[in-house]
Structure 1
Amino acid sequence: MGKFFVPSKGVLSWKEFLADPIKQWKKGYSAFELAVSWGNAHNLPYTVDNVFKNSNITLFQNIEVLYGFPEYKVPLPGGNASSQNDLYILAKAHNVLIPIMIEGKVAEPFGKTVDSWLGDNPSEGKRKRLAYLLQLFTLEEESVKKIRYQLLHRAASALIEANRVNACNALMLIHSFSKTAAWFEDFVAFVELFHISPKQNTIVGPVQFQNVNLYFCWITDVNNI
């Protein structure tokens, strides 16, 4: 039943999908700001549209949003916990599909590092999941120990969805509403694993995994804060 979706009745419809609506649905919190920014946009939010259109990557200069799925879960091997993405946008440009996985941020961090998430005695499920992620990105365990685990499985979500819809391109997008771009350094550390140096408000990449060109982008958007 989890694969069926209904049309939104407006921004407030997004609230019901949150784990803790009372705590998370407040102005200045990422869930609220992301919902307002994307839910009220005709196509793309202004700041996102500006970054995409000014990109030197032709693919992103004429993006059309087809569908959006708030709090979208992507199953991963190793346990029952899915990667719950703040927003999944299925877009189109130049007659090709582009899955965009979006993580909204204000002040909250990206969670535990891989090392901390594993713990001293990791379960078989955690070992299986990490092995899957390492194989997906052709990385060694030692190289990701200090990387935020959330960033790994969010990027994996973009690749998985691209394969599901037979898309050759995908984008992992961090939409930050922090005036100080809090936790940007964690994003940099993650993307640099693939020998790319990211900048704010710039699309970088691609890196190819499983025949999918994966792009990365961090957008700092303080227009409405």
Structure 2
Amino acid sequence: MRNIYLPSQGAEDWRRLLADPIKHWREGYSAMCLAHCWESASGLPHEIARLLTCIGPLPELLVALPEHKVPLPGSRRGDSQNDLFALVRAGDQTVAVTIEGKVDEPFDQPLGTWLANASDGKRKRLAFICDLLGLTPPLPTNIRYQLLHRTASAVIEARRFKTDAAAMIVHSFSPTRKWFEDYAAFVALFGAIAAPDQLVCSHFEGPPRLYVGWASGEIHHLPQNGLIPAV
């Protein structure tokens, strides 16, 4: 994992960082929507800033790193490639934030599918994540693995940068809030109740304090005809 980052000149610079720059860079999909949204914002997109005000006033974007990889144990290719990682200052608090962009795409596989014929590496990775997040296995089979490792990434980076808090935020551009029920099931693991456009503090016994949230992005970042391609 490289630790030198170059300033972005625009949304197109995000494309080369994708795992598949052809398949994943398409109108109506999360990668392009997220890039255009964050590049067009003056600092934080307002829907993200609004969520983070519950941590501290006047949230300020310090740095944002697209397609940021966070190593996880169990596999040389087991990194969590986060759509975006950001360091944010909110009042006197510093927050490590992982952003998961979504339009119509699901949160990858549920655990029941992901664990089918799982390797020792996969099981080691899941055990590490559960221990890190204070979750007791076995977890429900409907929980989406992607939400687990994105949240683990936020905690890992919060400890690495010694921030006051960690947050995993789903930045959704779906007009119908597609897959919100999967997010809500995940939030319930931490004894919290999910709500759209709210940041909730989990019962995770840090440090750091852990927050999870769902932010509704502006739909003008979708294709102008309003049609979203099928996944």
* Matching residue of 1:179: 175
TM-score, normalised to structure 1's length?
0.92
CA gap of 1:177–1:88, structure 2 versus 1, over 3 A, is same
Cα distance in 2, alignment partners of residues 133 and 99 from structure 1: 17
**Matching of residue 78 in structure 1 with residue 93 in structure 2:** no
**Matching of residue 189 in structure 1 with residue 185 in structure 2:** yes
* Matching residue of 1:100: 97
**Displacement after TM superposition at 1:51 (Å):** 4.1
Q: Is this contact kept in 1: 2:190–2:204, CA < 8 A?
A: no
Q: Deviations over 1:34-61 (max 9, x none)?
A: 00011121111133234444xxx2x243
Equivalent of residue 127 in structure 2, options 112, 128, 131: 131
Query: What SS does structure 2 have at the residue aligned with 1:73?
Result: strand
Instruction: Give the superposed CA RMSD.
Output: 1.5
Structural mapping, 1:160-175, within 5 Å: 160-175=156-171
TM-score, normalised to structure 2's length?
0.90
**Displacement after TM superposition at 1:124 (Å):** 1.3
> Between Structure 1 and Structure 2, how many residues are aligned?
220
In the alignment, structure 2 segments of 5+ residues that lack a partner are 223-231
Q: Is this contact kept in 2: 1:136–1:209, CA < 8 A?
A: no
CA gap of 1:46–1:19, structure 2 versus 1, over 3 A, is same
Opposite residue 154 of structure 2, the aligned amino acid is A
User: Which runs of structure 1 show a deviation greater than 4 angstroms over 4 or more consecutive aligned residues?
Assistant: none
Query: What SS does structure 2 have at the residue aligned with 1:88?
Result: strand
Q: Is this contact kept in 1: 2:194–2:200, CA < 8 A?
A: yes
**Matching of residue 112 in structure 1 with residue 139 in structure 2:** no
Opposite residue 21 of structure 1, the aligned amino acid is P
Equivalent of residue 90 in structure 1, options 78, 87, 95: 87
Larger fraction in helix: 1
Q: Is this contact kept in 2: 1:207–1:215, CA < 8 A?
A: no
